[in-house]
Structure 1
Amino acid sequence: MDRRTLAGGLGGLALVVAAVVALRSGDAPGTLKKEVADGVEVVALQEPMKPANPRAQALDADALQIAWNGSASAYEVRWNGNEQLVPTPEVELPGLDPEQETQVEIRAVSAIGKRSEPLKIAAKPKDLYNGKWDDQLVGRPDKFGGPEALDPRKWRVEADPDCLGLRPFGPGRRIDVDCPMAAFQSNTPIRFGMPANDGATGRAIISVAGAVESSHVRLTLLPDPWQYLPETEAQPRGAVSLDITTQGTRIVADPALPRTGKQVTLGDAPMTGLVAGVRHRWEMRVLPDAVVALRDGVVVAYEPVAITERVVHPRIRIDGGGFLDTFGVGGVPERVVPTEVVPLDQDVEVPRDVVAAKLVKAGQDDQVTITDVPLDAGRIAAQEQARLVVIRKPESRPGALPRLVDRPGGIKTGGPRLHVMHEDGAKPPQPLPGKGRVLVTAELNDVGHRGIELELDGKRIVALPTNEQGPGVPGRHEFWLDTSKLVSAAHARLKLSVLPADGGEPVIAETVFELG
Structure 2
Amino acid sequence: MDRRTLAGGLGGLALVIAAVVALRIGDAPDTLKREIDKNVEVVQQQEPMKPANPRAQALDADALQIAWNGSAPAYEVRWNGNEQLVPGPEVELAGLNPDQQTEVEVRAVSATGKRSEPLTIAATPKDLYNDKWDDLLVGQTDRFDGPESLDPRRWRIEAEPECLGLRPFGPSKRVDVDCSMAAFQSNTPVRFGVPASDGAIGRAIISVAGAVESSHVRLTMLPDPWQYLKETEALPRGAVSLDITTQGTRIIADPDLPRTDKQVALGDSPMTGLVAGVRHRWEMRVLPDAVIALRDGVVVAYEAVAIKTQLVHPRIRIDGGGFLDSFGVGGVPERVVPTEVIPLSPNTEVPQDAVAAKIVTPEAGNQVRVVELPVGEKRIAVAAPAQLVVIRKPESRPGTLPKLANRPGGIKTGGPRLHVMHEDGTRPPQPLSPKGRVLITAEINAIGHRGIELELDGKRIVALPTNEQGPGVPGRHEFWLDTSALTPGANARLKLCVLPADHGEPVITETVFELGKTP
TM-score, with structure 2 as normaliser: 0.93
Q: Separation in 2 of the partners of 1:109 and 1:275?
A: 19
Instruction: Return the alpha-carbon distance in structure 2 between the equivalents of residues 400 and 290 of structure 1.
Output: 38
CA-to-aligned-CA distance 1:355-374 (integer Å, 9 cap, x gap): 10010011110121111112
Whether the 8 Å contact between 1:358 and 1:389 is mirrored in structure 2 is: yes
Aligned residue number for residue 133 of structure 1? 133
Instruction: Find out whether 1:380 has 2:372 as its counterpart.
Output: no
Instruction: Provide the rounded CA distance (Å) in 2 between the counterparts of 1:346 and 1:73.
Output: 57
Say which SS state the counterpart of residue 140 (structure 1) adopts. strand
The 1-side partners of 2:347 and 2:59 are apart by: 48
| Equivalences for residues 394-473 of structure 1 within 5 A | 394-473=394-473
Distance apart, 1:384 and its partner CA: 2.2
Matches of 1:342 and 1:273 in 2, distance apart? 36
Task: Give the corresponding residue for 1:221.
Answer: 221
Q: Secondary structure at the match of 1:149?
A: helix
Give me the whole-angstrom Cα distance separating, in 2, the residues matched to 1:281 and 1:456.
Answer: 48
For 2:465 and 2:222, how far apart are their aligned partners in 1?
53
SS of the equivalent of 1:390 reads strand
TM superposition shift of 1:345: 4.2
**How many Å separate the matches in 2 of 1:460 and 1:131?**
58
**Is residue 30–residue 501 contact of structure 1 (8 Å, CA) maintained in 2?**
no
**Matched residue type, 1:160:** E
- Aligned residue pairs total 489
Distance (Å, rounded) in 2 between the aligned partners of 1:348 and 1:319? 32
1:480-491 to structure 2, matched below 5 A, reads: 480-491=480-491
CA contact (8 A) 2:486 2:492 kept: no
Whether the 8 Å contact between 2:251 and 2:291 is mirrored in structure 1 is: yes
Distance 2:277 2:205 in 1: 19
The reply to whether residue 240 of structure 1 matches residue 245 of structure 2 is: no
Give the letter for the 2:338 counterpart.
P
Displacement of 1:452 in angstroms is 0.3
User: Which whole-Å CA distance do the structure 1 matches of 2:145 and 2:255 have between them?
Assistant: 37
The CA deviation at 1:147 is 2.6
Q: Conserved in 1, the CA contact under 8 Å of 2:65 and 2:93?
A: yes
Distance 2:503 2:217 in 1: 37
Q: Give the counterpart letter for 1:404 in structure 2.
A: L
Q: Distance in 1 between matches of 2:30 and 2:110?
A: 17
Residue by residue over 1:161-196, the C-alpha shift from the partner in whole angstroms, topping out at 9 and shown as x without a partner, is 301000000000001000000000000000000000
**Cα separation, 2, equivalents of 1:139 and 1:302:** 26
User: C-alpha separation between the residues in 2 aligned to 1:361 and 1:486?
Assistant: 62
Instruction: Say which is worse superposed, 257-266 or 487-496, in terms of deviation.
Output: 487-496
- Coordinate RMSD, CA, aligned: 1.0
User: Partner of 2:146 in structure 1?
Assistant: 146
**Residue 339 of structure 1 contacts residue 389 of structure 1 at CA under 8 Å; is this kept in 2?**
yes
CA contact (8 A) 1:354 1:392 kept: yes
Moved more, 293-302 or 370-379: 370-379
Report if aligned partners of 2:147, 2:401 keep a CA contact under 8 Å in 1: no
- Aligned to 1:329, the other structure's residue is in SS state strand
> Are the counterparts in 1 of residues 249 and 272 from structure 2 also a CA contact under 8 Å?
yes
Percent identity for Structure 1 against Structure 2: 79
- Larger deviation, residues 493-502 vs 403-412: 403-412
What is the CA-CA distance between 1:344 and the residue it aligns to?
A: 1.2
Give me the whole-angstrom Cα distance separating, in 1, the residues matched to 2:196 and 2:148: 33
Q: Deviations over 1:28-67 (max 9, x none)?
A: 8641111100111111111000000000000000000000
Equivalence for 1:341: 341
CA contact (8 A) 1:29 1:502 kept: no
- Deviations along 1:286-337, one digit per CA (max 9) or x if unpaired, are 0000000000000000000000000000000000001111000000000000
Shift in CA distance, 345/432, structure 1 to aligned 2, threshold 3 Å: farther
Displacement after TM superposition at 1:204 (Å): 0.2
Contact in 2 for aligned 1:452/1:463 (Cα 8 Å): yes
Structure 1 segment 39-78 matched on structure 2, within 5 A: 39-78=39-78
Q: Which amino acid aligns with 1:469?
A: Q
1:260-409 → structure 2 map (5 Å cutoff) = 260-409=260-409
Report what 1:159 is aligned to.
159
Segment of structure 1 superposing worse, 139-148 or 344-353: 344-353
Deviation at 1:433, TM superposition (A): 1.4
- Cα 1:30–1:299 shift into 2, 3 Å: farther
What is the alpha-carbon distance in structure 2 between the residues aligned to residue 433 and residue 306 of structure 1?
59
Equivalent position SS for 2:114: coil
- In the alignment, structure 1 segments of 5+ residues that lack a partner are 1-27
CA-to-aligned-CA distance 1:235-290 (integer Å, 9 cap, x gap): 10000000000000000000000000211000000000000000000000000000
Q: Report how far residue 346 of structure 1 moved.
A: 5.0
* 1:370 alignment partner, SS class: strand
Alpha-carbon distance in structure 2 between the residues aligned to 1:511 and 1:429: 11
Residue aligning to 1:503: 503
Structure 1, 215-224 or 140-149: larger mean CA deviation: 140-149
Aligned to 1:198: 198
Q: Give deviations 1:108-136, integer Å, cap 9, x for gaps.
A: 00000000000000000000000000000
